[in-house]
Amino acid sequence: MDILIVEDEADIAQLIQLYLEKEGFACRVCSDGQAAIRLFQELQPDLIILDLMLPELDGLEVCARIRQKPGSKDPYILMLTAKGEELDRIIGLSTGADDYMVKPFSPRELVARVRALLRRTLRQGGQTKTYQTQHFTVDVDQRAAYRHADQPNTAKKGERLDLTTLEFDLLTTFMSYPGRVWNRAQLIEKLWGSDFFGDERVVDTHIARLRKKIEFDPAAPAFVKTVIGVGYKFEDAPAN
């Protein structure tokens, strides 16, 4: 697994690299946003550790550009920030980050989070399933999701949805258990694994981002519905 570390504080970058390379990961390091975009395009890493405050381009802009043009890989992004305010974390996640850590952090916890993110890909391995409802098709093997017209011809997949890796996994989880009500802890266990560290409210941010991409009206969701006091569930009619 290849990891790109984008951190302008040399001692922190070296510490992260040391711990990850001890675990067998191949790491490259850069210290500014422009270099991060260039190395991302060159290396196509599996995961990016991305500092929020960077020279040239900040981490939010780097994250947004990567999500707009992911290339042959759509990498996991773990964002680092020296700011502890909830707003900064929400903004980072809303641009496409999969997880965040606030400085100062434990290097061992960072390694655990990296493994949890990369484990999502491993958990998908070997599956060749396709899930289909009236409005959506998810091809697990190709990791592609499509939205149909209101009256779909199921021989045609329709519009391909531009989903991040986590959004795809979230939609797949919902479609594989239609009608099931999920609480935040269950979704975290399914998507992040048992060694997740952080605030359960991160689920709400990713639900909101998924709704913006699949709902006809995200303010009145027809598919990913909130079950008050419990969590979320996915509803759609079976494919014709």
- Asked whether the bond before 104 is cis by omega within 30 degrees of 0, the reply is yes
| Contact between residue 236 and residue 135 where contact means Cβ atoms under 8 Å apart | yes
Give the CATH architecture of domain 2-124.
3-Layer(aba) Sandwich (3.40)
Phi, psi of 81 (to 5 degrees): -145, 145
pTM, full prediction: 0.59
Rounded Cα gap, residues 53 and 185, in angstroms: 30
pLDDT at 183 over 80: yes
> For the ranges 5-9, 173-177, 226-230, which has the lowest average pLDDT?
173-177
Domain positions in the chain are: 2-124, 130-234
Determine the Cα angle at 237 with ends 231 and 238, to 5°. Answer: 115
Q: Give the mean model confidence (pLDDT) for residues 217-227.
A: 94
CATH 1.10.10.10 fits 130-234, yes or no: yes
Rounded Cα gap, residues 22 and 27, in angstroms: 11
The residue type found at 53 is: M
**pLDDT tens digits, one per residue of 122-163:** 444 444 478 888 899 998 877 889 998 654 444 455 788 999
CA trace torsion 65, 214, 173, 231 (10° rounding) = 110
